[in-house]
Structure 1
Amino acid sequence: MLFKNKITTLILLASIVRCIIAFSIGLGNDEVYYLSYAQHLQWNYFDHPPLVAILIRLTTLNLTFTNGFFVRLGSVILAAANTYLMFLIGKKIKDEKTGYITALLYTSSIYTSIISGVFIMPDAPQLFFWILSLYFLTHLITDEESQSKRNQNLLLFGLSVGLCVMSKIHGIFLWIGFGLYVLLYNRKLLLNTYLYLSVLLSLLIISPILFWNIENEFITYTFHSNRVTINQGINPNSFIRELFGGVAYNNPVNYYLLIITLIACWKNKINISINHTRLLLLMSLPLIEILLFVSLFRDTLPHWSGPGYTALLILSSCYLSDIKTNYLLNKSVYYANYLILIVSLIGILALNFYPGTLGNKTEAKLGKGDVTLDMYDWDFFKHEVAKIIQKNKSDGKSKTEFIINNKWFPAAHIDNYIAQPLHLNFLAIGKLEDIHTYHWLNQYRNSIKKGDDAYYITVSNNYSDPNEIYKYDFEKINPPIIIKQFRGGKSVRNMLVYLMEGYKN
């Protein structure tokens, strides 16, 4: 009862903090782009599978409430569920104390608690089904489980993996890890018909991804393979970013605990079933190590390996639960949570109140390189753009209600924060690799016709010149009206609004 009360308190407090963060800052460029997914549901998208879009539809009540809090609410709810699942896994493998330490480690990870626990990303549903899959596996390989229960858990594992892949393609590493476990340590499972039924269940669930890509010439895999194709030459910057990004995203305190846990595992000092130790290592290390290897040659992002660390957090909690004499190690899980709380507070304050920009200070590129601007007060621009459009209508200069942009970012912000609230038409017109899912979304919107005018909107921190992009598409491109934005009393970013006249079709 003691640990159940503690886990309830932990989940409640962590959820409150996550709600405060979700409410306090605007949507980032990836988040607002995934909100665009939800505008028209598909079986797959240019970048990712569809579950993030479905999650957004659910928490916004079918796009009725599209402010940042409701868009992110699914991530907050799933993070609470994940914390309890981690508790149950730790409890199953060892005891309730282990489960509670597992939940603390999960809560203190920036990746699991913030990136996937607050921000609306494909990682949010992916991580839920990843951890749920681990839950089924820990029951599956437990000796005291009956054969019928094991068969049931095999099928549930296949179902969960399928949904994990439908969140993000990285979910396939669950089958890779478990497949290695079967081949190396439990070959008798190869004689179990339910294993193959489980594989078929996963394939059936993810089949829409295949059908969508057949219809669209496998564009998803062409795109992602170009991001990770191994070329000649070492890329040390990418490797350093992947390695130290993993340290930062998982919390430096946690990362230290993971290292000493792996050393303890090497020395056979973790007091749990060898089957569980083997499983947890195989459900973590392949994904982490493969991405570290790929990062030697191509750019990767540290959060791609994030799910792999969850199994290592469980293993660490099993090691820490037996330590009674080392005061620092016993308290380290609490220090890790204090650290993430401080980082979150500093982040909210800096994003909303830091005077000026952390990026470029010149007018032409004002704010470039400042990642905080992705989430800073896009509502401000909505009112200013409305004034410009109304003035042009009043002056008889143009009555157009079209806004266009040439890249998915800042297109998604302009679409969701300006065009839709003002009931204007928005299109992303550019190369497929630049506009991404807007290539499909455009087909469900009003099309611009020959002779129409349109506004081109861009921002100084991500500036693109329409005189270069659309010089052959419009008869005339007028000089921009500049909207200046301030933070903490200092200029932080410029928005440039161009009126382009006479579309040539």
Structure 2
Amino acid sequence: MKATLWLIALATILRLIFAGYTGLGVDESYMVAAAHSFDASYFDHPLVSWWLELGARALTGSAAPLVVRLPFVILAAITSWLLFFITARLFDERAGFWAVVAYSVSPVFSLAAGCWVLPDGPVDLALAAFMLATLRATGFIDGKPTPNCWLVAGLFAGLAMISKYNAVLVIAGVGIGLLLAPQLRAQFRRPQLWLGVLIALGLTSPLLWWNAHHGWVSLHYQGGRVDGGHLRPYMPFYVWGGEALFVLPWLWLPMIWAQIRAMRAGPAQAAPWLLAWAGLIPVLLFAVISIWSSTHILFHWAAPGELLLFPLLGAWARGISPRLRNTVAVGSGALLAGAMLFIAAEVQFAFLPHLDRLSKPGRSPLLQAIDWTSIGPQIPPGIDAIAAQRWYDAGKVGYALALDHVNIPVTVFAGGPHQFAFSAPPASFIGKNLLVLSMPWTMEQTASFCASSFQSFTPGPVLTVTFHGHVLLAMPTYIGHDMQAVPAPRA
């Protein structure tokens, strides 16, 4: 147990270093810039992750990277401990230690979910707690069923669903696993289980209420990802390959093998059976959808299901060659820690000169790793708002202004505005003067799209994003005076 606590502490320190010394990525910047109030839900995701960063800002009065990321770092430490506890009680403490090692060296879990301002950290903790409560309710943790734990399971199932929509896939998988296990089917006759279901539904009611009052935009957006395009039978292998890369291939493959073994063993080994079912639907569903979906399937979408396979992976790892296991663990940890420290050092000190020149102008990966704070002093006077043409540009600009305490709202004119459609709708700036970013369009395309919506539309300054004196991005702009109408969508 002490070794696990030291491991969690070391991983947390590395996450804190990364959180404090690198800028927010595109999605993180968007989440901070687009959320101005504690609402019942939001366009992309339910409320928990938004509330965490809003709460951190409200408590500290700061939007610094470490401040808004700190809640997510804390959640990762708690999730690590929950994984250890589940694995140790189902198998033994050695298996629990190796489950936490695997979690801590996996980039998608330890870094993305464990540090960044994203819904993945909250949903991971909620699902781990839901699984622990389920295992207690069914008697696999304490040796005898504890029916009242179904109330706790319902609480954390609800928290998971108001953290990220795909949590329902994991919860549904556990429910199917219960139904298919003859010795567990009787759990559905317990009133506590159904009270837990009611608690979960009660917790999800705010996001349903918000969606009902906003045209069900979130569900249309998320559900639209299954829309068909061309059939591509090879795509599941591409998706699984991407998932393996995000987890680490030498962890993902034995993880899936352990899941397959648990499924083949059947419900006779009920605890591994439930863990395997928890991950089954996410791992299969997104791969299957990719066969026809016109949406690019993101590799981290299956991660909530893969999270609950770590106990099976930990149990598998204790039985392999100690030399191989230790080599993989140390090598993987060094790889992740080295990458995190390298990025943080490069952002702070730019010790590799001209790194930005390895990419095309305006395409440097450093644009993701730094905050665009250089643009604040370049904004001309008399500007009431800034308009971008893409939500992620608006996110980076809006977050940079928040860091510089520049009180200028940011909106989005074209494409999918996402949460900006509600936090800063373009129509609210009628009669105002706007600085319009001409990116990614040419100046001519921007003028064609926007000029008729303003009393006058003249070229503005070129805003530059700089990194230790080097220009990474130049954004041409227009100044639109007295907006008369919202620019019409492009054909």
Q: Whose RCO is larger (CA < 8 A, sep 6+)?
A: 2
Alignment of 1:143-162 (within 5 A): 145=142, 150-162=146-158
Distance in 2 separating the partners of 1:417 and 1:283: 39
Aligned with 1:467 (options 443, 447, 455) = 447
Q: Give the deviation of 1:359 after TM superposition.
A: 7.4
What amino acid is the match of 1:439? A
Q: Distance in 2 between matches of 1:169 and 1:35?
A: 20
Q: Which amino acid aligns with 2:287?
A: L
| 1:448 maps to amino acid | F
TM-score (norm 2): 0.88
- In the TM superposition, what is the alpha-carbon distance from 1:15 to its structure 2 partner? 0.9
| 1:307-364 alpha-carbon deviations (Å, 9 max, x no partner) | 11122221011122234x4521354233322222123234445666352537763xxx
d(CA) in 1 for partners of 2:253 and 2:451? 55
CA contact (8 A) 1:358 1:367 kept: no
Measured against aligned partners, the alpha-carbon deviations of 1:400-458 in whole angstroms (never above 9, x if no partner) come to: 43322233221122223126735443241425x62111222126x994343x4321235
Separation (CA, whole Å) in 2 of partners of 1:260 and 1:226: 32
Equivalent positions of 1:213-224 (< 5 A) are 213-224=211-222
Matches within 5 A, 1:31-50: 31-50=28-47
Q: Which runs of 5+ in 2 are unaligned?
A: 486-491
Give the equivalent residue in structure 2 for 1:403: 386
1:115 aligns with 2:112: yes
**Among 68, 72, 75, the residue aligned to 2:72:** 75
Q: Whole-Å Cα distance in 1 between the matches of residues 289 and 275 of structure 2?
A: 22
Give the corresponding residue for 1:357: 356
Counterpart in the other structure of 1:174: 170
Residue in structure 2 matched with residue 448 of structure 1 by the alignment: 429
Partner of 1:383: 377
CA distance in structure 2 between the aligned counterparts of 1:120 and 1:488, rounded to whole angstroms:
25
| Partner SS state of residue 362, structure 2 | coil
Going from structure 1 to structure 2, the CA distance change for 1:89 and 1:37 (only over 3 Å counts) comes to farther
* Residues 143 and 91 of structure 1, relative CA distance in 2, 3 Å threshold: closer
Q: What is the distance in 1 between the residues matched to 2:442 and 2:369?
A: 14
| Contact 2:394/2:412, CA 8 A, preserved across alignment | no
| 1:100 corresponds to | 97
Partners in 1 of 2:27 and 2:389 — Cα distance? 16
Partner of 1:84: 81
- Is contact 1:401–1:424 with CA below 8 Å preserved after alignment? no
Contact 2:373 2:404 in 1 (8 A): no
RMSD (Å) for aligned C-alpha atoms: 2.9
1:435 to 417, 431, 434: 417
Q: Deviations over 1:462-499 (max 9, x none)?
A: 99953133122013322242244444765421122322
Matched ranges for 1:175-194 at <5 A: 175-185=171-181, 186-194=184-192
| Residue pair 2:35, 2:419 contacting (<8 A) in 1 also | no
Preserved contact between residue 482 and residue 495 of structure 1 (Cα < 8 Å): yes
Gaps of 5+ in 1: 391-398
Task: Give 1:394's aligned residue.
Answer: none
Q: Which residue of 1 aligns with 2:408?
A: 425
Residue 503 of structure 1 deviates from its aligned partner by 2.2
1:215-244 Cα distance to aligned partner (Å, 9 max, x none): 1121111112222223442275x5455222
| Residue of structure 2 aligned with 1:297, choices 284, 287, 292 | 292
> Are the equivalent residues in 2 in contact too, given 1:410–1:458 (CA < 8 A)?
no
AA paired with 2:392? Answer: F
SS at match of 1:478: strand
Query: Within 2, Cα distance between the matches of 1:371 and 1:402?
Result: 27
Question: How much has 1:29 moved relative to structure 2?
Answer: 1.5
The percent identity for this pair of structures is 21
Aligned partners of 2:178 and 2:126: how far apart in 1? 21
* Number of aligned positions between the proteins: 478
2:399 to 416, 422, 427: 416
Number of the residue aligned with 2:27: 30
Alpha-carbon distance, 1:304 to partner: 0.7
User: Which residue is 2:488 aligned to?
Assistant: none
After TM superposition, the structure 1 = structure 2 runs for residues 243-254 of structure 1, keeping only pairs within 5 Å, are 243-254=240-251
- In structure 2, which of residues 339, 357, 368 is the aligned counterpart of residue 343 of structure 1? 339
The answer to whether the aligner puts 1:482 opposite 2:478 as a matched pair is no
* 8 Å CA contact 2:173, 2:281 repeated in 1: yes
C-alpha displacement of 1:142: 2.8
Q: Cα offset for 1:301?
A: 0.6
Secondary structure of 2:309's counterpart equals helix
